[in-house]
Amino acid sequence: MVAVSNPKCNTSNDKDIVQGHMPGRKNWNNVISSSQRLERSTERALRHGLFPLVFGGDHSQAIGSITGMKKVYPEARVLWIDAHIDANTPASSPSSNMHGMPVATLAGLMPNYERKPVLSLKHLIYFGIRSYEPEEIRMIQKHRIPWYDSRVCHPDRIPDMKREIDKHFFPDGQRHPYWISFDIDGVDKSEFASTGTPEG
């Protein structure tokens, strides 16, 4: 278990939050600040041979967990379980919420983000998506990213899905670790209603 406390983020007053905004990306400074802490903690846990379970915040924090994980396992593949594609940019996001932009940030699609991309879109598969912007679907099509509709994510299909996933990720048979990035809204709202962004 990795615990990253970011009390300043949690108690930011309105003035701090406004100062943390950038055009088209709400709370950018705060999100990046907590992501960097999480990045260090995730990297440290993995280097100590631990198995990190990262809970918290919203899916914007995957910027930190995946960046930290990629420092230790640069070839790791990512399974993104979410109702959303999370690859918005300030130009495509209707809300400017950073929780819709972590994949864009990790994959180098975010303008004016000075860090190098850590996630190849060839190393990403989506599960459960059912709410997205047109630009995000275009990204999936352009990069041929496999995605599984929530209606096909059924226990009976898991063995077949696993074969398909392995074929996509490891065409030459050489395997690499997986990282699972899970947003609770990937679960149908009839199963789990307590999410800020329920999707049926």
Residues that bind Mn ion in the complex, under the rule CB under 5 A: 82-84, 183, 185
Residue 39 near residue 152 (C-beta atoms within 8 A): no
CB count, 10 Å around CB of 47? Answer: 11
Residues 6 or more apart whose Cβ sits within 8 Å of residue 131: 83, 84, 197, 199
Length of the chain equals 200
User: Residue 136 or residue 183: which is nearer to Mn ion going by CB?
Assistant: 183
CB of 127 to Mn ion, least distance (A): 12
CB of 105 to Mn ion, least distance (A): 15
User: Residue 38 or residue 101: which is nearer to Mn ion going by CB?
Assistant: 101
User: Residue 43 or residue 183: which is nearer to Mn ion going by CB?
Assistant: 183
CB of 14 to Mn ion, least distance (A): 25
User: Residue 45 or residue 101: which is nearer to Mn ion going by CB?
Assistant: 101
Please state the φ and ψ torsions of residue 148, each to the nearest 5 degrees.
Answer: -110, 120
Tell me how far CA of residue 57 lies from CA of 5, 12, 30, 33, 198, in angstroms: 11, 14, 12, 13, 16
CB of 18 to Mn ion, least distance (A): 25
Please state the φ and ψ torsions of residue 92, each to the nearest 5 degrees.
Answer: -105, -15
